[in-house]
Each structure stands twice: as structure tokens, then as C-alpha cells.
Amino acid sequence: MNEFLKKLMNAAKAEGIEACEAYIVERDSFRAMVTDGDVTEYNTNATKGLGFRGMKDGKMGYSSTEAFDDNAVEQLVRGVVESAELSEDDDPVFLYDGNTETPKLDLTNDELYNLDPYEKIARVQAMEKAIKAYDERIDKAARNMIQTGRYTIRIINSYGMDRSFTEDSCVMYGQATAKQEGHIATGFFGRGGRSFELLDAQLIGSEVAKSAVEKLGAEQIPSGRYRVIIHRDAMVDLLETFSGIFSAETAQKGLSLLKGRLGETIAAECVTIIDDPLLLDGLDARPFDAEGVPSKAHTVVENGVFKTFLHNLKTAHKDGVETTGNASKAGYASSVHVSPSNFFIRGGHKSFEELLTEMDTGVVITEVSGLHAGANPVSGDFSLLSKGYMVQNGKREKAVEQITVAGNFYDLLKNARAMADDMAFPLGSMGSPSIDVGELSISGC
Amino acid sequence: MINPILAQEALNLALSTGGDFAEIFLEDRRNNTLVLQNDRLETVNSGRIHGAGIRVYVGLNAVYTYTNDTDREGMLRCAKKAAQAVRDQKEGLVKAKPFYTPAMETVHTFRQLPSQTAAKQKADILRAANAAARSVSNEISQAVCTYTDSEQDVLICNSEGLFVTDRRVYTRMACTAVASSGMENQSGSENPGAMMGYELFLDRVDPAYYGAKAAKTAVTMLHAPQCPSGVMPVAIDNGFGGVIFHEACGHSLEATSVAFGMSEFCGKLGQQIAAPCVTAIDDGTLPNEWGSEHVDDEGTPTTKLVLIENGVLKNYMIDRLNGKRMNMAPTGSGRRQSYAFAPTSRMRNTYIAAGNDDNEEIISSMGNGLYAAKMGGGSVNPATGEFNFAVQEGYLVKDGKIASPVRGASLIGKGADVLMKIDRVGKDMKMAQGMCGSMSGSVPTNVGEPMIRVSAITVGGRA
């Protein structure tokens, strides 16, 4: 690879590229799927990809490859030149010089990396057994999955920066259907992290089964306005969908209604939102961002007041501020954008049960579906197929299905009444507590 | 793309520990993306995807490995890794058969390849779409116009001796227009494409038309009140409206779900699962359509498959491995995003066939309800049939007349239920393009229908 990079950098220079950078992702991954004890799918792979960008006449050009022959060098350089020449984006662009220390984060786990694949498979099989043993109404547990992977990200540029980090991760999840008098319900639960011990077969299996069985006998409720608590597991999906409104890139394009509102109160006082790439609990921990800028935590919303957008070098320069280290790439081939790292709404001090008691009568939403369609990040509007349960006199009552919950994310932040103390990162880099969001519209029968 | 002798060697190595079928999928793909926003061309990105996947079956179980190193060493290393992953290793009794290439008629042809088209020409498409979107109204505050193309060459060979290649060329534009009042934003999108080269814009797609259409939706929605909630009749217009069938039924007819008993339509072949006015087809053979291919990603020729005929379930969409599980023949439906995914059964161009009803009558006889002129995306849980999708542009119908636009509506229901409640099927079938996500990644699929009406469906709104 070093030989290839040398050739690439030299060829770029010869073609008049003023500064350039390679972003290399190497991935070593394993995935197995188990149905009825059988390993129906077993995947194991090692791949690498390289994204290349360079500046010519002050414009940034992009190209990428998965092949590493001499043709690739030519294709990458030609791609960058053509791309930079065509670009009409005259906002200043930057490569980072890398003259800074990056924080030390230990994201590797050799034990996990070297684990025998059949030990991993045995863990999924045990989880599947736990699902079936949980309740006799469990009908099927199929396509249960474990994934482990190691990936390395390296950024090297013509300013002399050459930094990399390696991360191990694992995730296991199960799905089941439960049946009762012709009614079918499905359950799903998963857990991920950087240690195999986190993948507790008994615990995950029970949660999968519980999430299916609890939905049996669910009914529609009449359409109307209801008091609503959004459970943590559904709230993280909403937060992820609308997290783009905090990006300076989105705002500079005029696609975020937070544009021009820094320092204003945009949410209820109980709302504090933090982006923390150094937090090991979230699966997006990293010592530096996609431009090589060292990671740092930022409070985005503090007690309802909007403190900062998330930035990369380009958006920060445009707004006259420092980058927050939130440059991101959707993959090695992508251009540089802005996105959150470990992004979470801070938990409160009340237990979930206290929230129920305070609400007295209403609906708890535990699951929302179809966010790519039913939620519009540009307007903030959402109308989502949801599941949950009724609460009466502060107590959990019958399960609810076939309803939509509709509202607007900006309004939801303003109307939030209380946060539970159950903040966690259920399956990734988004964290939230369960939130009492006041009133929302529900469509049912 | 690969020397047949090396392919044979790799297949035999993959089979050496007891596998009974092995397959190589090799891919070389060149992608281009151009993005115009803020009235200027901001991103031009090109890339090359290159790699191979090797799959081994042992009974009904499968091993899949993939790599970017497609030279001799890399291919053999990948094959060996697959062989080593087979659990109860024994002597390999199955050997790869000599290769043959079945005769195939060329149905999909390409006149102007993306690789032979200057990026400037591609940028012109975006400029035309952007200018048209901006000229609709001064409330249009932003237009994000994207052009994508890709040339994908695939080679598929397997231990039964099949050795085929296919070329798929895709071109598409997208325009998302945003209308803003300063306090509120609303957006509209159009995403036309085809399995064609640049001739897409000479033969089928006028970028200005779609740019303006996206902008009109955004402006209409900016001035629309919230959609009311409740159960009501809904007329869904042609084109992307076909997403209702894709979500409410299509996914549940894929062997991916059916073979594992995770579909509400398991064991229902020959039974009435939809109203008699419903005939639905999944056709991978339509010339140069977005979801077409000569062969699927397992090398099986694509087919025109009648899924539902006059309401009766006729066929599932089946890939090779799930076909073995179900003891049924594959239907040329094995698809994957790239070499980095094992294939599974997927939709191609899926549509409700034209019926006999007049659009005017469909609206005038519905009383009070919703007319969904333009749909957004959706999703489904195949095990329960619970689906949802968004209405991008909706209108309230009062006493059989289209009254006023409404925003923010979504439609939910259960597939088996809604199929029975379709009570009108219009005459003018039209398809539209989407990217469908599932187990084997994101693949191009067409959805389609004439205008249809569902007699009662839950509409999720806020008023």
C-alpha cells in the first residue's frame, strides 16, 4: 500500500494537483446467520477501498477505487483533475496539516478479533434457544445474526499528515414471531459494542422474545390527540433521522430551520444535546474525524439553548468559527460532509415509572417504522407507523398497533416535559432517554 | 474479466471441503456522481468498485466470502477461505463441470455510454433541472439536483458449468426542491432513471419537466394545511403510487421471507389473496427498464412473472438457495447490490396491471377521502404484513371532488387486508424508479400501477 500511495502522490503532483489526500478504509468482517440452529449464512471478508481528493486552482476534486494497480493511479488522478476543473464551488476548501495531538482511545480488542468463528456461532445458537424457551407463544426465531469486524481508517496527505486508528466491534441481534389466536407479532432486539461479553445470549434472547410476546393482542385505538411518552428505543430513531438539522452544512444549504438561531432557545429547558466522539459507550468513538481533526466533545443544545452547529473545516471557515471535528464520509468513496459522532440527549433524574405516573393516562410509543419515508428532515414533520401501549392511572395497559404518531421534530423539542434517567445507546451511536413529549396526534380507527 | 481456467481452479478449491455447489460473482463497476446545489455544480465524484464474491452451498446452508484482490492469488485465497469456513469438513466429492455459456438474446442495448459522455454534458442536465425548479416560484429556496450513472460488468460462473456475463448501465437524475416561507420548509422530489446510457435524456427524460414538477409539489405543500387523521377511502395515482404494492405485498412474496416462514403469504399459492380486480406482475425482461437485467446476479435468465392473477396468488419470487429450501425453481430474482453481498430474491419491475376503470369515476364515486397524487417511500414487516408509506402530495376529496391539498399524510395497514380492499383499478399503468433496500443491499427496482382505489385505509395526519 505504501508503494501505491507514493506513486499516487507523485503522479498527482506531476499533474499539477497542489495538495492531495488519501483516505483508506480496510475492513475485516465476519457475519453468521442462524435459523433453527443451522448456520444458514456464513460470510467472511477482507476488503479495502481508497478515496482520493485533491486541490487544483483552489477547487476540490474527488475520486475513489477498490483496485490497486497502475491503472488505478491514473484513474484516481484523472478523476480528481476532471472533478476539480468542473467544480463551481468557490468556497475555500482545506486539507488539515495534522500538526496536533490526537486523544488516545483504545478501540481494539484482540481477544474479540481472534475469537474462533464457531464460538461466535455458538453464542447466536444459545440466544436462539433462549428466545424459544422464553414463552410457549413464540412461533419462530429465524435469521438470528452475529457480526464482528475490525476496520482501520488511515488518512495521509501531502502536508505530511499520516494518522490512523483501528476499531473492533461486534453486534448480535435476534428476531422472533409470536402467535396467539391468529394474531402474529414480531420482536427484535440487539446489542453491540467492543467486547464479546456484552453479547449475553440469555439477556438478548429474552428481550427478543419479550418484545414479540408483549405485542400479542395489540389493538388500534381511536384517532385523536393523546398524551405521549416516547420510549428511548423509538426516540433514538427519531433523533437519528433529524440529527442533520444540527449540521452547519445542512444549515448553509438552507435545509435546516435552525439557520440563524444560534444562542436562541429552541427547546424546552430539560433538553440538553451532546456530541461526544470520545465516549466509549457509543459505537462512533474515534480519535479524529474524516479530515484528521482531533476529536472533542461539544454541547449542541444546553438547557434548551442552541449553542453550536456541528462543523467540518469548510463549513467552519464559512461561518467564521473553529471546526467541531465532525467531518464525515459515508464511506471511503464519499466526499466530506458533516455528521454527528456519538450524539445523545442527556437523561434526567426521574425513573421511567415516575414518568408514567406523572402522565397518568396516555400512550407509550416503543417502536416507529419507515423513517426514511414518513419523516421529512427538511420540514421537521413526521407521521410514522408506531407501536406501543396504553397507560392508565400510571400503569401499563393493553398493547397498541396500527397507529401513526404525527408531529414536528422542532415542536417536539419545545414541548418536551421531562426526561427519564434511562439514557443509553441501544444499538449504535445515537443515545436518548425516554421522553415525555406532551401531546401528539395519533391516527387509528 | 477472469480466465476460465483460474475460475475452475477457484471453484474446485471452494468445493474441496465438502461443498456441493460453488459460485463466483465478479464485478467491475464505474460510478459517477454530480451534485448541483446553491445554483452551482458543487460535487463531481467518480469511483471504481471492483471485487469478487465466492459462495459455497453445503445442503441448505451457505458460506460467502468476498475480496477486492481478483488476481490469481487473491481469488484462490478467497476460495480457500470459503472452503475453510465449511463446518463439518470432509473430502470434496463434487467437482466443477466444464463451462458452457447459454445462448442469450440481447434485449437491453446502450447507445451512449456514460464513460463516453463528457462530464459537462452531464452537468447540463442538472442545470436544466435546477433552472426549471427555480423558475416555478420565488418561494423555491433551494434545489439539490443529482446526476448518477454507472456501468456495471458482471461475470457469474458456477460449479454446474454456467459461465455468463452481463452489462448493466444505469443513468438517473434526481431533483429535490425546497419551498420555504422562512418559518416552514416543504420539499418535493423527482427521481427518473432507466437502465440506459445518456440516451435517457434524449429518449425519455426531460430534466426541466422533472425539476419543475418537484418544485410545484414543494410549493403546493407549503400552502397546504395538515392532513386529517382517520380511516377513509384513498385513490392512489399511477407511477410511484405502485409503491403500495411493493410494500404491502411484494416484499412478502420474496423467497427471502417465504422460505423461512416469515411471510403472511406462506402456503397461499392458488388462494385468493387480493380483490379480483388485482393482477400483479414482476417483470425483469422489459427492455432497458430500471429493474431489468438479462440474467440475475446468480446467472439465471430473468423472467416475466405473474405474481397475482385476478386476485389469486400464482408465484413467489425465488432465488437459487431459497428455491432449494422451498423445493421450487428459481425465477431469475436473485439480486445483490454488489459483490459485497450474497444474493437473495428481490423484486425487479413490479406493477399492478391495467384494469378497466376510469380515473374520473374513481374520484367522483369515492365520496369523502384522500387522493394521493404522489407517493413517497415506505417499508414493511413481511411477517405481519404491516406496511407504511408517505404521501408526498395529497388532496382531500369532498363529495367526489378534489378539494384542497393536504400535507404530512402517511398510509398504514396490513398487506393481506389492503389487497382485498382495492375496489378500482384504472387503465393507465405507469412505472417509476426506486432503490429498494433489503438483505442483499440496495438494488434498482421499478414500481408501477394505474390509478387504484382502496375502499378504507388508515390515514395518519395531524388535523
Q: Are A407 and A241 in contact (CB under 8 A)?
A: no
- From A43, A372, A443, residue closest to B230, measured CB to CB: A443
Instruction: Tell me the pLDDT tens digit for each residue of B52-71.
Output: 999 999 999 899 999 999 99
Would you say residue A266 lies in a domain?
Answer: no
- From B61, B230, B407, residue closest to A39, measured CB to CB: B61
Contact B48 A64 (CB under 8 A): yes
pLDDT value at position B132?
Answer: 98
Enter the DSSP assignment of B399: T
Give percent above pLDDT 70 in chain B: 100
Q: How wide is the angle at C-alpha A417 spanned by C-alphas A273 and A304, nearest 5°?
A: 35
Contact A142 B46 (CB under 8 A): no
Stated as kind and residue range, the H or E segment containing B425 is: strand B422-425
- ipTM, interface predicted TM-score of the complex: 0.85
Instruction: Tell me the pLDDT tens digit for each residue of A300-348.
Output: 999 999 999 999 999 999 999 999 999 999 899 999 999 999 999 999 9
Mean pLDDT (whole number) for B449-457 = 97
Are residues A205 and A229 part of one domain? no
**Residue B118 near chain A (CB below 8 Å):** no
Angle between helices A117-134 and A201-213 (to 10 degrees): 40
Instruction: Tell me the pLDDT tens digit for each residue of A218-227.
Output: 999 999 999 9
Q: How wide is the angle at C-alpha B316 spanned by C-alphas B313 and A368, nearest 5°?
A: 95
Is the predicted pLDDT of residue B2 greater than 90, yes or no?
Answer: no
Would you say residue A155 lies in a domain?
Answer: yes
pLDDT value at position A281?
Answer: 81
pLDDT value at position B1?
Answer: 80
- From B123, B186, B410, residue closest to A383, measured CB to CB: B410
pLDDT value at position B261?
Answer: 87
Are residues A234 and A160 part of one domain? no
**Which residue did the predictor score with more confidence, A254 or A351?**
A351
**Residue A41 near chain B (CB below 8 Å):** yes
Instruction: Tell me the pLDDT tens digit for each residue of B87-109.
Output: 788 888 899 999 999 999 999 99
**Mean of pLDDT over chain B:** 95
Are residues A156 and A89 part of one domain? yes
For B364-383, the DSSP string reads HTS-SEEEEEEEEEEEEETT
B230 pairs with which residues across the strands? B459
Would you say residue A405 lies in a domain?
Answer: yes
pLDDT value at position B86?
Answer: 87
Which of A42, A226, A228 is the best mutation test for B, with the most CBs of B within 10 A? A42
CATH number, domain at A126? 3.30.2290.10
Give percent above pLDDT 90 in chain B: 91
Are residues A103 and A205 part of one domain? yes
Name all domains of chain B by residue range, CATH numbers in brackets.
114-151+167-222 (3.30.2290.10), 230-460 (no CATH)
AA letter at B6: L
The region that residue A131 occupies, defined by phi over 0 for left and psi between -120 and 50 for alpha, beta otherwise, is alpha
Instruction: At A202, list the grid cell.
Output: 440469555
Instruction: Tell me the pLDDT tens digit for each residue of A213-263.
Output: 999 999 999 999 999 999 999 999 999 999 999 999 999 998 999 999 999
Would you say residue A267 lies in a domain?
Answer: no
Are residues A228 and A182 part of one domain? no
Mean pLDDT (whole number) for B116-133 = 96
Are residues A172 and A232 part of one domain? no
Is the predicted pLDDT of residue A144 greater than 80, yes or no?
Answer: yes
Q: Are A30 and A148 in contact (CB under 8 A)?
A: yes
Enter the DSSP assignment of A201: H
Q: Are B300 and B330 in contact (CB under 8 A)?
A: yes
Q: Are A403 and A430 in contact (CB under 8 A)?
A: no
Is the predicted pLDDT of residue A79 greater than 90, yes or no?
Answer: yes
Are residues A108 and A230 part of one domain? no
- From B48, B67, B384, residue closest to A45, measured CB to CB: B67
Confidence of residue B187 (pLDDT cuts 50, 70, 90): very high
Q: State the Cα–Cα distance between residues B415 and B261, nearest whole angstrom.
A: 16
Instruction: At A204, list the grid cell.
Output: 438478548
**Residue A119 near chain B (CB below 8 Å):** no
Interface of B with A in 16-75 (CB under 8 A): 31, 34, 37-38, 40-51, 60-68
Q: State the Cα–Cα distance between residues A171 and A357, nearest whole angstrom.
A: 34
pLDDT value at position A305?
Answer: 98
- A 10 A CB-CB count for A359 gives 20
**Residue B442 near chain A (CB below 8 Å):** no
Instruction: Tell me the pLDDT tens digit for each residue of B333-383.
Output: 999 999 999 999 999 999 999 999 999 999 999 999 999 999 988 888 888
Q: Which domain holds residue A12?
A: 2-213
Of A289-293, A424-428, B148-152, the least confident: A424-428
pLDDT value at position B186?
Answer: 92
Q: Are B296 and B306 in contact (CB under 8 A)?
A: no
Contact A441 B408 (CB under 8 A): no
Q: Are B445 and B337 in contact (CB under 8 A)?
A: no
Q: What is the pTM of this model?
A: 0.91
Are residues A108 and A47 part of one domain? yes
Are residues A228 and A142 part of one domain? no
**Number of domains observed in the structure of chain A:** 2
Are residues A232 and A146 part of one domain? no
Instruction: At A218, list the grid cell.
Output: 395489540
Is the predicted pLDDT of residue B463 greater than 80, yes or no?
Answer: no
Q: State the Cα–Cα distance between residues B85 and A118, nearest whole angstrom.
A: 9
Would you say residue A263 lies in a domain?
Answer: no
For B51-63, the DSSP string reads EEEEEEEETTEEE
**Mean of pLDDT over chain A:** 94
Is the predicted pLDDT of residue A427 greater than 80, yes or no?
Answer: no
Is the predicted pLDDT of residue B277 greater than 90, yes or no?
Answer: yes
Mean pLDDT (whole number) for A157-163 = 95
Would you say residue A299 lies in a domain?
Answer: no
Q: State the Cα–Cα distance between residues A406 and A382, nearest whole angstrom.
A: 5
Are residues A228 and A156 part of one domain? no
Size of interface A-B (CB pairs under 8 A): 236
Contact B229 A404 (CB under 8 A): yes
Are residues A159 and A231 part of one domain? no
Mean pLDDT (whole number) for A87-111 = 92
Confidence of residue A143 (pLDDT cuts 50, 70, 90): confident
**Residue B456 near chain A (CB below 8 Å):** no
Tell which of A179, A213, A247 closes a domain: A213
Would you say residue A315 lies in a domain?
Answer: no
Instruction: Tell me the pLDDT tens digit for each residue of A264-290.
Output: 999 999 999 999 999 998 889 999 999
Shortest alpha-carbon distance between residue B120 and chain A (Å):
8
Would you say residue A207 lies in a domain?
Answer: yes
